[in-house]
A = this chain, B = another copy of it.
C-alpha cells in the first residue's frame, strides 16, 4: 500500500485549510453562532420544551460541586465531549475568548470529576461507584472515554491548552492498566466502538505507543471468546437495555467473529463504521495488510450493497442496524445521521490509506445529502432518522414508521446526532485534501485556502467553487517561487466529463488519471490559474438490479446532490408521479427558496384517482393520466415547508 509515516499527519498537519465557501461557510458559521450556543443551553437544560440533558450537571455532581443524582443516558457524558471537540475545532480557526473561557470552566469541572486513579465517568461515579467495568457491553464507559479523548486532542490542537489532554492521558493510562492480556486485567473490549479511533488520535498527538497498542488490543480482542456473556453471568445476569438483546446478539456489536474475519457490515451501523475507522487508523500506523484488507472488505460491502443513495446506512430501526445485502427499504429505513458521519470518518481514513476517488465520492455523497439533511437551517432542529420516502399521515399510525419523523425535532434525550453534526462541520477542513507521494489530492471542491509546504517552500492553493449548483472550480497557486508538485484533481462519479485549463490553456488530463484523480504534475509558478469545469448533468440514477426498492424507479442526482420530490411542490400522492423518458430537465437557481437552492423540473405523468371511483381493485383498467411537471429539490432541503410527503425514488 506504500503507506508512509510522514503522510499520516497530512490531513491534520501538512495541509492547513481555511474554508471560505458560498455554500459551506454558512454551515460552519451556523455551528459557531447557533449550534454550539444552542447545544450549550441544551446541555444545561435551558431549552424550554426539550427533553432534559443534565449532562453538565452530571459532571458537577461527580466533581462534588453540586448535590443530586445522575440523570440521562448512561453515555450522557459523550454529549459534553462532542460539544467540547467541536469547540476545539472552532477555536483552531478563530479565537473566541468567551467561548474558550466557557470551555475552560467546563474542563475544570471535568478534571474535578476525574477520580484519583484516572477514572472518568459520571454515571458510575455518581450512581454505581462499585460497578465500574461490570457491563462493558451495554454501558458505554469506554465509548465516553473515547469521546473525551477526541475532545481533548481537538481542544489541545485548537488552543494549545493541555489541561483536558492531561486528564485524558491519565484516563487512558488508567484504562491501559485495567484492560489487557495479563491475568489481573480484563480481557475485554468496549460495547460501542469509539475509543479505538480516539486512542490513535491520542497516540498521534503524544507519540506514546501505549495508546496505539491499547487500541490494537481492543480491536483484536473483539469477537474473541464470549466476553459479553461472561461479564453478564459474572454480574448476575442483569441487563441495561432489555429491549435489544445486545448481549446475545453478537452481530449487533460486531463481536460475532474476530475483526479480521468480518466480511460484511453487521449490526448497529454507528458502531460498525466507528470500528472500521479505528481499524483503518491502526492499519495506517501499523501497516498491517490484513487490517487494510478488513477495511477494504467492510468498505466494499457497505458501499456496494448496504448504502442508500443519500449516503445513509442502516436499514432497520431495530438496533439502528444494518440488515442484509441489497435490503434498503426507503420508508422503514433508519439511516441515522451519526452513521453517515461515521461513514465519512471511515472514508477519510480510507483516503489516507490509499487515495481513490471512490472513497471521496462516498464521503461527498454522505456529506451533501444525509449529514446536512440532518440539521435544519436554523441549527436547532435535527433528524436522527433520514428516510428516503415519507408519508406523514402513516407515520403516526402505522408502527412500522414509528421511528420516522416527518419533521426535524428539537433536542433529544439521546442526543448523539446534533453534536456529531457540529463536530463534523466544525472540522470540515480536515476532509478536503491529503498529500501523498508529492501529490496534493483534492477530495472536496469547497472554496478556501490550503496552505502546505512543498520542498520546504510554503504554497497556498486558493480554491473557489460553485458547487453544488454549478461544476466550476477554480484554483490559484500562491507561492513566491516556482514549486513542483502534482495537483491531483478528483473526477467525481457524478461528472460526465470535465474541462481543465491552466492559465487559460486547455490541458488534456485524461491520460493522467490515477485512481480517479487527474494528476497534473508540473512546475507551478506564482499565480498560476487552474480552471476545472466539471460537467454536471441531471442524472437519472438507477439502483442495482438486486435492489428491490428501487426497481422500476430512478433517483435524480445532479453534482453531489441527490434530489427529491416534496408535497409542497408536487401535491400529495407522490407515488402517482412518473417521469417521462428522455426528457430534459430544467435547472433553476432559486435565491429566495429555502436559503437559495437549485431546483430541477422534469416532465412526467400523474396517475390520477379522480375518475377511478371507490373500488379498491379493478381488472384491466388504465389509470387516467395527466401531464405534470415534477419539481425536485435537493434532498438536504426537505421537510422545511411543513408536513408533507417526500420521495427520493420516482417511477421512470
By a beta-carbon cutoff of 8 Å, the part of chain A in contact with chain B is 300, 303-305, 307, 309, 315-319, 323-324, 327, 329, 332, 391, 393-394, 397-400, 494, 496, 539-548, 551-552, 555, 557, 573, 575-576, 578, 607-609, 612, 614-621, 623, 651
Contact = CB atoms under 8 A, between A and B. Distances in A.
Contact of A398 (B315, B546, B618): B315
Nearest to A557: B619
Contact of A551 (B309, B546, B576): B576
Given A573-B545, A609-B545, A555 B617 contact: yes
Given A332-B332, A545-B623, A623-B542, A394 B323 contact: yes
Contacts of A496: 619
A305 B546 contact: no
A496 to B, nearest CB: 7
Contact of A543 (B323, B393, B557, B617): B617
Contacts of A542: 617-621, 623
Top 5 A-B residue pairs of the complex, sorted by shortest distance between their CB atoms: A318-B399, A545-B609, A539-B619, A323-B398, A548-B575
Given A304-B616, A551-B576, A616-B307, A397 B545 contact: no
Nearest to A496: B619
A331 to B, nearest CB: 8
A251 B543 CA distance: 39
Contact of A541 (B305, B319, B555, B619): B619
Nearest to A618: B542
B327 A398 contact: yes
Given A551-B576, A612-B545, A620 B539 contact: yes
B397 A400 contact: no
Contacts of A318: 398-400
Contacts of A494: 619
A394 B549 CA distance: 13
Nearest to A610: B545
**Which of A545, A546, A552, A555 has the most chain B CB within a 10 Å cutoff?**
A545
Given A541-B618, A546-B609, A552-B651, 12 more contacts: A304-B615, A307-B616, A317-B400, A319-B399, A323-B397, A329-B398, A332-B332, A542-B617, A542-B619, A542-B623, A545-B576, A552-B578
A525 to B, nearest CB: 37
Contacts of A608: 545
Contacts of A399: 316-319
A547 B324 contact: no
Contacts of A546: 573, 609
Contacts of A319: 399
A159 to B, nearest CB: 42
Contacts of A309: 616-617
19 contacts: A304-B614, A304-B616, A309-B617, A316-B398, A316-B399, A327-B394, A539-B619, A539-B620, A541-B617, A542-B617, A542-B618, A542-B621, A542-B623, A544-B617, A545-B576, A546-B609, A551-B576, A552-B578, A552-B651
A544 B327 contact: no
Nearest to A323: B398
A89 B183 CA distance: 72
A576 B304 CA distance: 18
Contact of A324 (B317, B397, B557): B397
Contacts of A317: 399-400
Given A316-B400, A607-B551, A619 B540 contact: yes
A300 B613 CA distance: 13
Nearest to A552: B651
Contacts of A391: 327, 548
**Which of A319, A541, A546, A619 has the most chain B CB within a 10 Å cutoff?**
A619
A573 B549 CA distance: 12
Contacts of A305: 616
A494 B316 CA distance: 39
Contacts of A551: 575-576, 607, 651
Nearest to A651: B552
Contacts of A552: 552, 578, 651
A394 B324 contact: yes
A394 to B, nearest CB: 5
A573 B327 CA distance: 12
Contacts of A612: 544-545
A109 to B, nearest CB: 40
A545 B607 contact: yes
**Which of A300, A307, A309, A620 has the most chain B CB within a 10 Å cutoff?**
A620
B609 A544 contact: yes
A400 B402 CA distance: 12
A104 to B, nearest CB: 46
A397 B306 CA distance: 14
A329 B549 CA distance: 13
A457 B202 CA distance: 100
A304 to B, nearest CB: 5
A418 B107 CA distance: 65
Contacts of A539: 619-620
A265 to B, nearest CB: 13
Contacts of A545: 573, 576, 607-609, 612, 623
Nearest to A539: B619
A297 to B, nearest CB: 13
Contacts of A575: 548, 551
A420 to B, nearest CB: 24
A317 B399 CA distance: 8
Nearest to A399: B318
A470 to B, nearest CB: 18
A494 B300 CA distance: 50
A543 B612 CA distance: 10
Contacts of A304: 614-616
A300 B618 CA distance: 16
